[in-house]
Amino acid sequence: MSLMSELGVQKETSTKPAQNAAFMSSYLDSLTMVERLHRLLLDVIKDEFERLGILELNSVQALLLFNVGDNEVTAGELKSRGYYQGSNVSYNLKKLVEMGFMHHERCHVDRRSVRVRLTEKGRKIRDIVSNLFMAHAQGLQDRSVVDLDGIDHIATTLRRIERYWANQIRYIY
C-alpha cells in the first residue's frame, strides 16, 4: 500500500472530467427548472384568479402586490430587493395605481421618488395570493412532496447561488 493511499489521498483520475460534465449537466437542468418553476408559479396564480373571476390584473401584478405586502416602498427598492427589472416594475406599478390597487405619493425628501403602498383593494389581492401560497405549503406537506428540512435545504441552496451570481455581477464588471 502506498503512502498516498494510507493517508487517504487519491490521485486525480479521469473521473474529474466526468464529474465536471455531470455537474454542468445538473447545473443547466437546475437553471431550466428555476425558470420553468417561475413561469409555472405565474400560471398557477393566473388560474386561481381566473377561477375567482378576477381578470383585471395579471399574475405578475398580483405577485407584485403580494411582495409589497404591508410595506411602503419605491420602485427602486423593489428592484434592489431583486423582485423585478426596471421597466417591468415601473410599468406594473403605474398600472396598479391606475386600477386602484396601489396608492402613490411623492417622497417629501426626494420629490423625484414615488412611494407606493397597497390600497384596500390591493390588500384583498395580496390576501388571495397569500392564502393560495398557504394552501400550497399545506398541500406539499400533506402529500409528502417536501418536508421542512427539504424546503429549508432548497431555500439555502438557492440563496447561496443567488449570492454567487450577485458577486459575479459586482466583482467581474
Quick: pLDDT tens for 2-14.
544 555 555 555 6
Hey, what's the cell of 158? 438557492
Query: Alpha-carbon distance 41 to 60, whole Å?
Result: 10
CA–CA separation, 96 and 66 (whole Å): 12
**Model confidence over 24-47: pLDDT tens digits?**
999 999 999 999 999 999 999 999
CB 88 within 8 A of CB 38: no
* 57: nearest Cα among 46, 68, 66, 47: 46
Domain boundary assignment for the chain: 58-167
pLDDT recorded at residue 60: 92
pLDDT band at 115 (very low <50, low <70, confident <90, very high): confident
Kindly report the pTM of this predicted structure: 0.80
CATH of span 58-167? 1.10.10.10
Element (H, E) at 91: helix 86-98
Strands (E), the chain: 73-74, 102-106, 114-118
